[in-house]
Structure 1
Amino acid sequence: MSARTTVLDDGVRSALQAVSAAAARGLGDPALAELVQIRASQLNHCAFCLDMHLGIARKHGVSERQLDLLGAWEEAGEVFDERERAALELTEAVTVLTEGFVPREVYERAARHFDAARLAHLIALITAVNGWNRLMVARRIPPGSAEW
């Protein structure tokens, strides 16, 4: 076991980290990747992931204004550009799946802003952060905890 106390099998943790990193790399926009992960974490009430991704977002130059208004991005006017809005809308659709699927118009709006590869990576990133959120929330891992 590493110096960090962990109860999550190294293989599982490493696999999830690898998927998350590959998806973010493939998206090619670290700031957008953080906005997406923060929004999913807000929806899933994952304090651990919010704490972590807010810090990373700041390091990637995401503005405090965007971070402050992310929970109300639909009403935030020009704070988020069309591409960011499409990614955030897709994030909500994939995270919540209220209709049991992602609405066609949401997918098509995102597809107008991302080529096929980047769109696939965006969806993979959303899926990965949702996995992390569910893991951390279900296990009640608090923000800043080293025990995960």
Structure 2
Amino acid sequence: MPHMKVYLAIKYHQDNSNRELIMQVLHELESVGIETISIMRDFEQWGKVQYTPQELMKLCFDKIDHCDAIIIEFSEKGVGLGIEAGYSFAKGIPIYAIAKIGADISTTLQGLTKNIYFYEKMAELKEIFDKMKGI
């Protein structure tokens, strides 16, 4: 199986209130051998490092450019997620969305993604990500 590297796009909260969710998604990806990039974890270090909005977008685009795919956790919407999805689509980088069952996935995002996977429990993501490696 070839090595796969993905960029995780997820709505970040300034107070890190969804840090556990982010860490769980990253853990499930890494548990099946997928290398991950997370701007909040890897570069902003959970708020310890600050970037200007321009620096942050440049960093995000650079990291997306060096990934095999982007995974958007879309249980909670965010403008940044749309920007990252649009950029990835324009660059021809495959986009996969994951969201909790019942989440409202915009028709715009539906039009950009290769596939949308819904989950109820975090443990379901491991199987989803394992399948994704073969796509």
* Larger fraction in strand: 2
Q: Normalising by structure 2, report the TM-score.
A: 0.35
Larger radius of gyration: 1
Q: Higher relative contact order at CA 8 Å, sep ≥6: structure 1 or structure 2?
A: 1
Q: Normalising by structure 1, report the TM-score.
A: 0.33
* Larger fraction in helix: 1
